[in-house]
A and B are shown apart, each in its own frame.
Chain A
Amino acid sequence: MEEPEFFQLYVEGERVVDADVRLSYNHRGMEKRCETLTYDQIPLLLARICGICSASHPMACANALEDLCGIEAPPRAQYLRTIICELERIHSHLLWVGLAGHFIGYNTVFMWAWRYREPVLDLFERFTGNRNHYENFKLGGVRRDIPQEAIPEILQAVDDVEKPTLMLTRAVLDDPVLGVRLKGIGILSEDDARRYCVTGPTARGSNLPIDVRRDEPYAAYGWVDWNVVSQPQCDVFAKAVVRLLETLESIKIIRQCLQKMEPGEIDNEPRSIPEGEGIGHAEAPRGETFHYVRSDGTNYPLRYKARAPTFVNLPSFKASVIGAELADAMLIVAAMDPCYSCTERMAVVDRGRNLEGLLTTKDLLQLSHEKTARLLKHHGIRPPQWES
């Protein structure tokens, strides 16, 4: 798995004319490590791939292992898995909205979005004992149940999350500044989205309505009523819209799961692992996570492959950033919601003026903030005062 990335942008004046990306400064060798772990230990390691998708990778892993063994988890476990995956999507998307606000110098959005994310993390704590790294997924089911009598209380907490999320969604979608700043930039055409094989909101914002939750229903997604959100505009704003509306769908899914869930078994562990291979995928907040496992019938896999969504979404940066303004470059990367801890800096080469140098995140933020301020002045808009 990879974390920090290095982008090299070639510009002529303010226009980006070419881009290159280098990654893997922080390779952790998890696939190799998996070959030394038992099937019970693997989901625990895979949760550490990412601190935000820490339910998605174990979910895909459980799907892959269950495909290998030809078993299914009991219904209650499927509902519990769905609830955890959707709570994860809500907190991840709220985190993204906050960051996007910060990138364009709109820190009010940042503050509110992160504030509304907190109660979701509290819910996680009640569900699984942890705010992140839930450790609840295993081959054949889940590790912890929730008491049936706690459900009304949790439903109340879900309502409390929904109201501010709805308010924030409406405010962001109607905001003139965000509209002006995000519409029409970072276009990833439907054709390019297909050629680069992108997934998740990056694909759905480019008019490709693909979603593993609907296309290959796992957990309880086939048993509840919800919609796949996609947008035809292909720009950064479309991706923001997809994420915000998806958050509301997630709340819908969680509520139905809590209501439909019936008491019962939560684990259906197989006696042994057969020889063979298995494929499992799951829809993480950033797109599809894809796992492949090959077994020789022992307690340890011969090969374990885990592919995170950013690995396929990131190369599409080349298609969406060329032609953009340098001040938008950071937003365009952010629109993919790439999953890495620290994009340290970007290198900028101005071909026209023979300039070459490294810009830090701070410089790029400054450029982006200046552009927002310019647009505000040009359109005569004063940033609205937000209320709780």
Chain B
Amino acid sequence: MDREHLVRQIDNDLGAKLADLAKRGPKRVYLTVEPQHSLEVNRYLYERGGRLATATGVDCPDWIEVCYHYCFDALNVVVTVKARAYKPACELDAVARVFPGAAFIEREIQDLLGVKFIGHPDPRRLILADDWPEGVYPLRRDYCHETHTNTGRAISPDHGRARVLSALRRG
């Protein structure tokens, strides 16, 4: 089996469940899925021999995007599943139900971004301290360092300095 074959197979088997399938160069494939299909698509990739390298949570305006990165080592390709957890509930099915390798990273995303992973076998905190306030998520874009709260309004960690400088430099 080669890369092209894998992509064709993914498209054939999952096509209806994918909101988008994008190839960026020969070695990177990005799949976008709605939350109800996340578990099935993840299970499919794991069972086809994908190794979950990790997952990245990204805070977007209307949802938290959880990007599960699967390495297909023998084929030299990384397939990323972008599952959207819509705000305010931010719920996704836990992939840790399928294999334990997903457990730690889902706990981390739950702590830092507030995604609730339904059916997670061990949903205890992983990263945050025991006395960290409930419901405050430090990696969200609206997290304020001074008040230690989520303000509901996107602020960059440096109060916009980076973005203003960047815009000025570009003219």
Question: Is B157 within 8 A of A197, CB to CB?
Answer: no
Are A292 and B56 also in contact (CB < 8 A) when A298-B163, A300-B166 are? Answer: yes
Interface hit among A304-312, A329-337, A339-347: A304-312
Query: How would residues 92 to 110 of chain B score, 1 for a CB under 8 Å from any chain A CB and 0 otherwise?
Result: 0000000111111100000
CB A197 to nearest CB in B, in angstroms, measures 3
Interface of B is mostly: mixed
7 A-B residue pairs with CB within 8 Å: A32-B138, A36-B162, A279-B80, A281-B53, A298-B167, A300-B163, A303-B58
| A-B contacts besides A24-B126, A35-B156, A281-B78, 5 pairs, CB < 8 Å | A2-B127, A36-B156, A292-B54, A298-B167, A311-B105
Check B104–A312 contact: CB distance below 8 A.
yes
The stretch of B11-19, B22-30, B31-39 that contacts the partner chain: B22-30
The answer to whether A215 and B73 touch (CB under 8 A), given A32-B138, A70-B25, A302-B58, is: yes
Q: Is A353 an interface residue when CB atoms closer than 8 A count as contact?
A: no
Closest chain A residue, CB of each to CB of B163? A298
Q: Contact at B104–A294, with CB atoms within 8 Å?
A: no
CA distance A158 to B128 in the complex (A): 45
Given contacts A35-B156, A195-B101, contact A290 B69 (CB under 8 A): yes
Contacts of B51 in A (CB 8 A): 194, 197, 199, 210
Shortest distance from the beta carbon of B83 to any chain A beta carbon, whole Å: 15
Residue in contact with A31 in the complex, picked from B139, B163, B169, CB distance below 8 Å: B139
Q: Is A162 located at the chain interface by the 8 A CB criterion?
A: no
When the two chains form their complex, are residues B28 and A195 in contact, meaning their CB atoms are under 8 A apart?
no
A:21-77 near B, CB below 8 Å? 23-24, 27, 29, 31-33, 35-36, 67, 70
Q: How far is the CB of B18 from chain A (nearest CB, A)?
A: 17
Main secondary structure of the interface of A (DSSP, over half): mixed
B165 within 8 A of A: yes
User: Is residue A160 contacting chain B, with contact meaning CB distance below 8 A?
Assistant: no
B52:A197 contact, CB within 8 angstroms: yes
- Contact of B149 with A by CB under 8 A: no
> Size class of B's contact patch?
35 or more
Q: Which residue of A lies closest to B122 (CB)?
A: A20
Q: Which residues of B contact A36 (CB under 8 A)?
A: 156-158, 161-162
A67 near B54 (CB under 8 angstroms)?
A: no
By the criterion CB–CB under 8 Å, are A215 and B76 in contact? Answer: yes
Point out the residue from A35, A195, A312, A315 that lies within 8 Å of B157, measured CB to CB. Answer: A35
B71 contacts the other chain (CB 8 A): yes
| Chain B residues whose C-beta falls within 8 Å of the C-beta of A210 in the assembled complex | 51, 73
Given contacts A299-B169, A315-B101, contact A279 B78 (CB under 8 A): yes
**Mask of A182-203 contacts with B, CB within 8 angstroms, 1/0:** 0000000000001111110000
Tell me which residues across on chain A come within 8 A of B56, comparing CB atoms.
292, 303, 305
